[in-house]
């Protein structure tokens, strides 16, 4: 080969390598650009304007009770100053069934958080997970007469919808306007100052059993805590784990708790729909205990350490030791194949996901119900749940964990089991308030809670 040919070949190879490097760099830059535009940053916190002050929140679940004390930081993060969590007692499917047992568990969790934060709580933000909450949509109009819209017009508009939504034995906890229409102009986030003839909105009402609410207020008053606000569990969980783009474009949060599974559909930065299914992780535990004739503690261990929603090829050969109920000799154990445990877990998971699918298909909120589904809550930690959920729901699936929160142990902060508690703290510090209202319904809620506390003082 001549020197000229050799030189040309080297130059060609160099150009090829250079072009390859340029292409690789372009692809990397393109991916980074797409990632920066579509997905939230991996490490950087979301910038938020927090309300001033320190807040206490309480997540009352069927399996655990969690208390967080924290505040918003100038850099946009939530700072936990103290936390406490205890095994739940006196709570079933999110509702209070034993006041004395629930009071002890609440006092213990709150006391642990207060000791760590070195401050005493008197008011608390608490989640609503019991009382069979229901979601309704109402179209409401209010005449303006060509003048500017003011606060009183918004109060009257929302109050009109609330009056229409009232049902005996139920109490409204959220009245969420899904944007406003100012005459022919739709999608107005804040109509104050606009001139129009007619102000309209589609109002999302979430109500719950009045009895369940009274029991909740009673147990908290016995624990020397005053309710600052009640927040729907799916709303709180969505604030904790959803990316801003997911809330905007449309996504569903499925909070798989111990006694219930709650779901909330978000779209255009609003909570559009919420529902509750009376099945949770504790039902799986009881299924295992009942079918295998073993204790609840052993069943919980089998579910947590070995449970899965999917089968694998060696499950039949993996033997698990269990002790049967009534066997006093701890050295006597029975061995069962792992496949047997999975065969108990999977039908209950399939039942739950099929009910979630039915609720999504009948939510009547448009394309938002077809978006990605984010699984969170303690029940979402089950191995193999994601692929099974993707097949049954026919939607993209991801596991949601709390983001943008510091001050918790790593194993807690990164656990989906603490999403609702983290979301309650976010709400208390001001996140998601544009999802709920313009500070007009809280006045009504505050009045109701004051009357409720007075009723309890007189009658209990």
What is the spatial distance between Cα 379 and Cα 368, in angstroms, rounded to a whole number?
24
- Domains along the chain? 134-209 (3.30.1490.110)
* Residue burial 193-232, b: 16+ Cβ < 10 Å; e: rest: eeebeebbbbbbbbbbbbebbbbbbbbbbbbebebbbbbb
Indicate if the pLDDT at residue 224 is higher than 60: yes
Token couple for 445? 């809620």
Over the stretch 236-251, which tens digit does the pLDDT of each residue have? 999 999 999 999 999 9
pLDDT of residue 83: 94
Listed in sequence order, the residues at least 6 apart from 460 whose beta carbon sits closer than 8 Å to its beta carbon are 218
| DSSP per-residue codes, 308-333 | BSS--TTTTT-EEEE-BTT---TT--
For residues 389 and 128, the model is more confident at: 389
User: End-to-end CA distance of the chain, in Å?
Assistant: 103
Task: Convert the pLDDT of each residue in 412-457 to its tens digit.
Answer: 767 899 999 999 999 999 887 653 445 544 444 455 555 555 544 4
Cα 12 to the center of its chain, rounded Å: 58
Confidence of residue 23 (pLDDT cuts 50, 70, 90): low
Of the candidates 72, 129, 120, 134, the residue with the CA atom closest to the CA atom of residue 102: 129
Q: What is the pLDDT of residue 414?
A: 72
Is residue 315 over pLDDT 60? yes
Q: What is the pLDDT of residue 200?
A: 95
Helical spans, DSSP H, in 79-201 = 99-117, 151-165
Label residue 330 by pLDDT band (50, 70, 90). low
Q: How far apart are CA 4 and CA 19, in angstroms?
A: 22
**Residue 395 corresponds to which tokens in the numbers above?**
């939607």
What is the rounded CA–CA span in Å between residue 406 and residue 348?
Answer: 35
Distance CA 203, CA 438 (A): 13
pLDDT of residue 25: 54
Give the model's pLDDT for residue 64: 92
Q: Which of 1-10, 209-218, 234-243 has the weakest average pLDDT?
A: 1-10
Mean per-residue pLDDT, 125-131: 87
Least-confidence region, from 25-39, 41-55, 271-285, 390-404? 25-39
Least confident of 10-14, 78-82, 168-172, 200-204: 10-14
Whether the predicted pLDDT of 346 surpasses 70: yes
Say what the pLDDT of residue 408 is: 86
Helix (H) or strand (E) holding 361: helix 338-361
**Cα–Cα distance, 80 to 174 (Å, whole number):** 26
User: Are the C-beta atoms of residues 422 and 402 closer than 8 Å to each other?
Assistant: yes
Q: In a 3-state reduction of DSSP, which class is residue 137?
A: strand
The span from the CA of 283 to the CA of 260, in Å, is 9
pTM value? 0.83
Pick the closest to residue 241 from 361, 376, 55 (CA basis).
Answer: 376
pLDDT band at 362 (very low <50, low <70, confident <90, very high): very high
Least confident span in 115-119, 185-189, 277-281, 305-309: 185-189
Confidence tier at 359 by pLDDT (50, 70, 90): very high
Range with lowest mean pLDDT among 38-52, 83-97, 220-234, 309-323: 38-52
> What DSSP element (H or E) covers 181?
strand 170-182
Q: In this structure, are residues 135 and 275 in contact, taking their beta carbons and an 8 Å threshold?
A: yes
Could you tell me the pLDDT band of residue 148, with boundaries at 50, 70 and 90?
very high
- Distance from C-alpha of 216 to C-alpha of 221, rounded to nearest angstrom: 9
Q: pLDDT band for 21, please (50, 70, 90 cuts).
A: low
Close Cβ partners of 314 (under 8 Å, ≥ 6 residues apart): none
């Amino acid at each position: 080969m001549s020197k000229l040919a050799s030189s040309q070949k080297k130059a060609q190879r160099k150009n090829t390598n250079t072009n390859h490097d340029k292409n690789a760099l372009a692809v990397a830059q393109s991916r980074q650009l797409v990632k920066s535009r579509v997905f939230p940053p991996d490490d950087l916190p979301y910038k938020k304007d927090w309300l001033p002050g320190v807040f206490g929140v309480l997540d009352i679940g069927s399996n655990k009770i969690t208390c967080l004390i924290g505040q918003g930081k100038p850099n946009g993060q939530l700072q936990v100053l103290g936390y406490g969590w205890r095994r739940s007692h006196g709570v079933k499917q999110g509702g209070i069934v034993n006041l004395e047992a629930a009071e002890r568990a609440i006092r213990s969790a709150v006391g642990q958080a207060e000791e760590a934060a070195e401050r005493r709580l008197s008011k608390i933000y608490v989640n609503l997970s019991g009382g069979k909450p229901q979601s309704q949509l109402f179209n409401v109009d209010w005449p303006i007469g060509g003048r500017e819209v003011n606060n009183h017009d918004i109060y009257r508009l929302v109050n009109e919808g609330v009056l229409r939504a009232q049902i005996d034995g139920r109490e409204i906890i959220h009245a969420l306007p899904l944007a406003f229409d100012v005459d022919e102009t739709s999608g107005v986030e804040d109509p104050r100052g606009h001139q129009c003839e007619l102000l309209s909105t589609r109002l999302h009402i979430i109500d719950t059993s009045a009895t369940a609410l009274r029991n909740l207020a009673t147990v908290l008053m016995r624990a020397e805590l005053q309710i600052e606000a009640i927040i729907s569990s799916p709303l709180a969980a969505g604030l904790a784990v959803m990316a801003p783009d997911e809330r905007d474009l449309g996504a569903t949060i499925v909070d798989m708790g111990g006694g219930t599974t709650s779901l909330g559909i978000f779209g255009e930065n609003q909570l559009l729909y919420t529902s509750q299914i009376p099945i949770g992780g504790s039902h799986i535990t009881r299924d295992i205990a009942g079918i295998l004739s073993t204790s609840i503690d052993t069943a919980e261990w089998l579910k947590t350490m070995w449970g899965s929603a999917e089968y694998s090829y060696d499950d039949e050969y993996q033997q698990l030791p269990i002790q049967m109920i009534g066997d006093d000799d701890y050295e006597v154990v029975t061995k069962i194949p792992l496949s047997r445990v999975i065969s108990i877990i999977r039908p209950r998971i399939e039942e739950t996901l099929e009910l979630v699918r039915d609720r999504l298909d009948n939510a009547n909120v448009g394309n938002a119900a077809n978006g990605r589904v984010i699984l969170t809550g303690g029940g979402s930690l089950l191995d193999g749940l994601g692929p099974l959920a993707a097949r049954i729901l026919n939607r993209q699936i991801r596991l949601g964990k709390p983001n943008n929160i510091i001050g918790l142990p790593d194993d807690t902060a990164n656990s989906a089991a603490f999403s609702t508690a983290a979301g309650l703290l976010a709400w208390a510090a001001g996140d998601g308030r544009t999802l709920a209202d313009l500070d007009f319904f809280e006045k009504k809620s505050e009045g109701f809670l004051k009357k409720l506390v007075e009723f309890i003082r007189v009658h209990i």
